[in-house]
Amino acid sequence: MKQLAILGSTGSIGVSTLEIVAAHPDKFRIIALSAGKNLELFARQIRQFRPKLAAVADRTDIPRLKELLAGQDLEITGGVEGLCAVATADGVQMVVAAIVGAAGLMPTAAAIRAGRDVALANKETLVTAGHLFMELVARHRVKLHPVDSEHSAVFQSLEGHRNEDIARIILTASGGPFRETSLERLQQVTVADALNHPNWSMGRKITIDSASMMNKGLEVIEARWLFNVPPEKISVNIHPQSIIHSMVEYLDGCVIAQLGTPDMKAPIAYALSYPERVSTGVKPLDLTELSALTFFKPDLDRFPCLGLAYHAMAAGESMPAVMNAANEIAVEAFLDNRIAFLQIPQVIEQTMNRHQAHPLTSIEAVLEADRWGRETARTLCVKGAR
């Protein structure tokens, strides 16, 4: 039985992970959980899965959680220290890193240093500090299994093959709700429009990233570190049906792809159970029901965030951390109706233009670059607010 800790148990990835755990009580056991602000759901999860340790991101929420869990026998903590305690709890064999954004850096690093395997859903970890995290993974000899559907697809398509035979990694993208929207119409889109994803059910921040295609840009940078391939060997294809989750093209011209119904429970389960497979309840794919599988290149005029991510990856050093920080602030401002949708890439680009990339030699240095990016982007959002 594999003993798990989940960082971010009330988010979409965390909820799906717990559904898999509930379906396979003979294979998985929850030791520790952490969550953000959804305390009522968190309390229900704790009562059902009975972890030994629970942590909330904000320490001021501890009294309320204790009130909701009166009579429960467990330790409750909070803050960054609490998240790191969950990631390193005694008995944990694998940590599901599902906290959204740069907030996942410290607890994910703590898990690796403690020798815990990681099922990684927090792409910002590798975006902001890829070289540092991959060095940690190698030093502590832990396994890092991707949870993102695209990276899980690449991981599966690489099984049994040599990295030196890779010609290209092809990440697929649905194109989100605006793949056919004119630039003129994009100037008027609302938060509700951007949150209306055609294929996937995700959290608000990730859904906006999908609408802007920054999510795919982050995934390109993540793939560069996960699979140890140079940036020029990673490309993106728009695939509206979201059936092929990504592909690997080899030097001999062969392409291996992973297909499936768009449901995050499948890649989560594979990360948890690898190299075995377990049932997930995901509807099997019936190719005879599909009318077509289509692909086309992304329009960087409509989706400048993807181009900005490639630029940040090329600049390297501290630039991806600053880009990611600026995106988080810009998305937050858009969700709060303080800036327009098309101002998201403008804020990111202006923040990047003001930054001089420099080497990052520690997680603390990454967090400092993140702080600078956030402060700069906040100033720009105030200036650009409608």
Q: What is the CATH number of the domain that holds 115?
A: 3.40.50.720
Same domain as 162, residue 219: yes
**Range(s) of the domain holding residue 252:** 148-263+274-298
Residue 374 resides in a domain: yes
CATH number at residue 338: 1.10.1740.10
Task: State which of 91, 122, 142 marks the end of a domain.
Answer: 142
Using 50, 70 and 90 to split pLDDT, how confident is the model at 386? very low
Same domain as 282, residue 199: yes
Domain count of the chain?
3
Cβ within 8 Å of residue 30, ≥6 positions away? 3, 4, 5, 6, 18, 21, 49, 50, 51
Same domain as 181, residue 104: no
CA–CA distance, 218 with 324 (Å, rounded to integer): 8
Q: What is the pLDDT of residues 76-100, one digit of tens each?
A: 999 999 999 999 999 999 999 999 8
Residue 308 resides in a domain: no
Same domain as 208, residue 189: yes
pTM (2 d.p.) = 0.92
Using CA atoms, how far residue 230 sits from 10, 167, 193, 225, in Å, is 35, 11, 35, 9
Cis peptide before 177, with omega less than 30 degrees from 0?
Answer: no
Residue 47 resides in a domain: yes
Task: State which of 118, 142, 166 marks the end of a domain.
Answer: 142
Same domain as 173, residue 64: no
Q: How many CB atoms lie within 10 A of CB 237?
A: 17
Same domain as 335, residue 224: no
Q: What is the pLDDT of residues 248-293, one digit of tens each?
A: 999 999 999 999 999 999 999 999 999 999 999 999 999 898 888 9
Please determine, for residue 198, whether its predicted confidence score (pLDDT) is greater than 80: no
Residue 107 near residue 34 (C-beta atoms within 8 A): yes
Task: State which of 127, 142, 157 marks the end of a domain.
Answer: 142
